[in-house]
Structure 1
Amino acid sequence: MWDLHRLRLLHELSLRGTVTEVARTLNYAPSSVSQQLAKLEDEVGVQLLQPDGRRLRLTPHGELVARHAVEVLDLQESVRSRLASADPVAETVRLATLETTGRALLPRALTRLRERAPHLRLEASVVPPETGLAELEARGFDLAVAEQYPGHSRSYRASLDREPLGTDLVRLAVAEGSAVRGMSDARDLAWVMEPEGTAARQWVVQQCRAAGFEPDIRFDSADLEIHIHLVRAGHAVSILPDLVWTGNRDGVRLIELPGPSHRELFTSVRLVSAAHPAIRQVRAALVDAFAVVAAGSW
């Protein structure tokens, strides 16, 4: 019989490319991962890995077994979901959240879970949506919150579902005393944006180009609090979602953008675990939290 844990390691290697990265992700020693993969080769009876310089790569047989491993892991997760529907049990749900939803929604969602599902332990990490969705598919998380912007839909992943959470208005943020009244007035100003490669940055750059200029991006940060401080001090302008303003908005003026200017927030889980009671409870808590925050008209 093939060991399920070792199949998981082979699957991780097919996703991450190196034994070192598998070990880092799963918090194992690289030597332990290598030993377990060698034992899996003995169990299967064919060569699964071959040297490629200083790395190991999957043989054709290894790729076949890795695909089989996904099916086995999915089946195990599906069965666990069915078993969990019988009685509440103490368990952990791992959430990948955006910075803004972590700040605005997570505390309220945790309060609801404490009231309705005290047996659940929710662990959350703030990561970019690109990372969250990739790690969700790789089983690094159980649930992810992600975003997409008008005209920039995220690609669908066959193993993941998607449920809407709500829409969040996005506006131009300038210092309170700024003379800027619209996008075209910001053509000669310094900009702060999220890091290159993110959907948020791509969308903001497109808004600048639609207004007839290429933005002078002097600062970039995934930490939106840095955006706020730079804007408030008059050193930059930024386009930010309204969820970021659930705290102090003093010293900042917000300007409506032309055309569709909201991001869509959604939650995503692996299809095989969508019916799991714990997943449904966390999703419901996030939806409730969003409704409360939206009603507060930030």
Structure 2
Amino acid sequence: MDLTRLRLLVELERLGTMAAVSETTGMGTSAVSKHFAVLEREAGTQLLVPDGRRVRLTPAGHRLARHAVDILARADAARAELAGEGEPVGQVDLVSFVSVSGPIVLPAVRRLQSDHPGIEVRLIEHEPDEALELLQSGAVDLGLVYDYSLVPRRFPGTLTLRPIGTEPLLLSQPSGGAATSRIMTRRRLSGLAEASWIANSRGSDEDELVRRMCAGAGFAPRIRHRIDNLEIVEQVVAAGMGVGVMPKLAAAARRGVVHSPLGELGGTRRISLASSTGGWSWRPIALLARYLWDAARGVLDDTAPAPPVSGGAQLAGDPEPPLG
């Protein structure tokens, strides 16, 4: 049913006459009458009956008018929410990867839900390949994804990416073979030509990263182990069974393991927010993105400018107003 016709019905119940409705809305009485005739066809029942020179609402007309009050209020609330007015409400499905969950995602979500309890965030964990599929299908609303500066990823054109920041990559090796965490050089890396390298089970970008890095040192790596859990990777390294590339956020102090910065040899891991191009205009998504950026400021390097938030929203402690 058309919202304009429902508004006319509410006004007729309130004012009592077609002439009063016409005067209040600025429509001619003939136009008002035609709207009611269409509304009766849409409702499939008689809403008005003649009452002398006037009309009055039937019981069905009164009932529809009461429903219309609720419908119009909901429509007005939806318009206000999408326009950035009032308190944002809604569920946002966020897909992210494991190493950002503790330092970035959880602090951001806790703070968001404290400031905006009407926003509910559902967390899903996936690596970028699976995350991008979910984003493209519309199964999730917002994603944290990454790629490597040495292996740039081609992201789908249906998604809009907003960089958050970067983190350095480290070489995780048994401490018996490296007493310090000095920055890795090509010469030092070439000494690992016979080592057993660890990669994940998915191959793809991670394999290509290891191959390009080692190619720069003059050898092809022997990938012997394929392990997805980064904590298990560290345990395998501590056992002296291999070496592997570790993002800084996932590297933890562990006996038997030393982490050597790879510097330019390994490049950086670049972390971005991704959503459908139209998704950024919905305020709950934009607010969650902003809180994630805020949590990342003290964790990641080269933090990008803050994502914009519509409606003039600003986080406590912001150094500057949101962009956009």
TM-score category of the 2 structures, normalised to the smaller one? 0.5 to 0.7
2:211 alignment partner, one of 200, 205, 210: 205
Take 1:95 and 1:129, find their aligned partners in 2: how far apart are those partners? 12
> TM-score scaled by structure 2?
0.61
- Answer yes or no: is 1:143 the counterpart of 2:151: no
- Answer yes or no: is 1:194 the counterpart of 2:219: no
> 1:62 aligns to what?
none
- CA displacement, residues 233-253 of structure 1 (integer Å, 9 cap, x when unaligned): 2211101110112x5444321
Take 1:134 and 1:80, find their aligned partners in 2: how far apart are those partners? 30
* Closer, same or farther: CA 271–126 of 1 in aligned 2, 3 Å: same
Report how far residue 278 of structure 1 moved: 0.8
Take 2:125 and 2:80, find their aligned partners in 1: how far apart are those partners? 26
> 2:290 aligns to what?
284
Q: Which has the larger radius of gyration?
A: 2
> 2:133 aligns to what?
134
- Answer yes or no: is 1:259 the counterpart of 2:264: yes
Structure 2: where are the runs of 5+ without partners? 1-77, 302-324
| Secondary structure in structure 1 of the residue aligned to 2:86 | coil
Take 2:248 and 2:105, find their aligned partners in 1: how far apart are those partners? 16
| Secondary structure in structure 2 of the residue aligned to 1:293 | coil
Take 2:234 and 2:105, find their aligned partners in 1: how far apart are those partners? 20
- CA displacement, residues 121-158 of structure 1 (integer Å, 9 cap, x when unaligned): 11112111011012101101111111111242221322
Take 1:136 and 1:80, find their aligned partners in 2: how far apart are those partners? 25
> 1:238 aligns to what?
244
Take 1:159 and 1:81, find their aligned partners in 2: how far apart are those partners? 27
Report how far residue 173 of structure 1 moved: 0.9
Take 1:126 and 1:198, find their aligned partners in 2: how far apart are those partners? 19
| Secondary structure in structure 2 of the residue aligned to 1:183 | helix
Take 2:106 and 2:91, find their aligned partners in 1: how far apart are those partners? 17
Amino acid at match of 2:256: G
> TM-score scaled by structure 1?
0.66
Report how far residue 259 of structure 1 moved: 2.2
- Answer yes or no: is 1:119 the counterpart of 2:118: yes
Take 2:114 and 2:253, find their aligned partners in 1: how far apart are those partners? 28
Take 2:165 and 2:235, find their aligned partners in 1: how far apart are those partners? 27
* Closer, same or farther: CA 205–80 of 1 in aligned 2, 3 Å: farther
> 1:271 aligns to what?
277
- CA displacement, residues 182-233 of structure 1 (integer Å, 9 cap, x when unaligned): 3112111111112244322221221122222222212112221221111122
Structure 1: where are the runs of 5+ without partners? 1-78
* Closer, same or farther: CA 275–145 of 1 in aligned 2, 3 Å: same
Alignment of 1:165-204 (within 5 A): 165-179=164-178, 182-204=188-210
> 1:108 aligns to what?
107
Take 1:81 and 1:217, find their aligned partners in 2: how far apart are those partners? 56
Take 1:126 and 1:80, find their aligned partners in 2: how far apart are those partners? 32
Contact 1:162 1:268 in 2 (8 A): yes
Take 2:112 and 2:253, find their aligned partners in 1: how far apart are those partners? 26
- CA displacement, residues 2-21 of structure 1 (integer Å, 9 cap, x when unaligned): xxxxxxxxxxxxxxxxxxxx
| Secondary structure in structure 2 of the residue aligned to 1:284 | helix
> 1:156 aligns to what?
155
Q: Determine what percentage of the aligned residue pairs are the same residue.
A: 25
Take 1:80 and 1:98, find their aligned partners in 2: how far apart are those partners? 34
Contact 1:81 1:275 in 2 (8 A): no
Take 1:115 and 1:256, find their aligned partners in 2: how far apart are those partners? 37
Aligned length: 216
| Secondary structure in structure 1 of the residue aligned to 2:219 | coil
Report how far residue 118 of structure 1 moved: 1.9
Supply the RMSD in Å over aligned alpha carbons. Answer: 2.4
Report how far residue 291 of structure 1 moved: 1.5
Report how far residue 82 of structure 1 moved: 6.5
